[in-house]
Amino acid sequence: MTSILNADLHCHSVVSDGTLTPEALAERAASNGVELWALTDHDEIGGQARAAAAAKAVGMRYVTGVEISVTFLGKTVHIVGLGIDTDNADLREGLEQTRGGRRLRAQDMADGLAKVGIKGAFEGALQYVGNPDLISRTHFARHLVETGVCKETNEVFRKYLTEGKPGYVEHRWATLKDAVGWITGAGGMAVVAHPARYKFTPNEEFALFTEFKGHGGRGVEVVTGSHSAAEYVTYAATAQEFGLAASRGSDFHSPLESHTELGTLPYLPGGLTPVWELLATRIQ
């Protein structure tokens, strides 16, 4: 398979912080010409069977997926797992652990918001949650937009939900080693999601990719909705430097909120090994 494939290997459903069902996403992806699709909900694989069945129903190839929250050098880093066996017990247990602290964290976030006069945010955010195990900052953002505190979700993150802001709560997610281990132990390929988002220094980023490879990680997102065109070039070079396969995914969450529509990003640049070449046996 070449790099010229409309693969979209990163997006979210109501099973995490997206607003569409796996079935609606599959239809939308197919109608946008996606040829190979993965649903990658945060810390959760509860939507995988539905996504795979929906992909089949619309004649689209599918590969299983997840996006695991990791704490690395004090920042939250996301590791996408592709081609995982969703019945793998260690993976399932690891994901359950990772999801575990979200409810308490959300209550702490609501307490922080209450201190600046925004009351009832926990209950408000819960109204947007499709999966009670997976309450996320995105659900708070939707509630604060809906109640007129902010105009759009981006503004909520900027003013309330990022480091140093009233609704931000420090949280320890999985370790890089564990997340990569769960994915590879389940027969999958670990991929660093949207690396430009972390704003690491060059040394920190070198440490991330070196340790990621050392633990058995094999890919990096090059073309993602979170990267600029210049960043495609930067991370294409990173893929080559570290001998990583390259991935492509919109990170689509919602028709109203997402800037990047399913299946509409540029193709991967040439000269890279696309992740789908290495995933061939895991494609359904």
Q: Which residues of this protein are in contact with Mn ion, per CB under 5 A? A: 17, 67, 78, 193, 251
CA atoms within 13 A on the CB side of 282: 21
Exposed / middle / buried, residue 246 (Cβ in 10 Å: 0-12, 13-18, 19+): buried
Closest distance to Mn ion from the beta carbon of 197 (Å): 7
CA distance 102 to 24: 26
Report what 27 binds from ligand AMP, Mn ion, none; CB cut-off 5-8 Å by kind.
none
Which stretches does DSSP call E strand in 36-102? Answer: 36-37, 61-62, 65-72, 75-82
Give the one entry of Mn ion, ligand AMP, none that residue 142 binds, where binding means its C-beta sits below a cut-off of 5 to 8 angstroms depending on kind.
Answer: none
Nearer to Mn ion, 2 or 154 (CB): 154
Q: How far is the CB of 59 from Mn ion (least distance, A)?
A: 25
Give contact residues for ligand AMP (rule: CB under 6 A): 17, 42, 69, 136-138, 153-154, 157, 253
In the list ligand AMP, Mn ion, none, the entry touching 127 (Cβ below 5 to 8 angstroms by class) is none
Q: If you count them, how many residues does the chain have?
A: 284
Minimum distance, C-beta of residue 236 to Mn ion, in the bound complex (Å): 19
Residue nearest to Mn ion (CB): 78
Closest among 218, 242, 208, 177 to 81, alpha carbons compared: 218
C-alpha to C-alpha distance for 74 and 98, rounded to whole angstroms: 16
Q: Which C-beta is closer to ligand AMP: that of 18 or that of 188?
A: 18
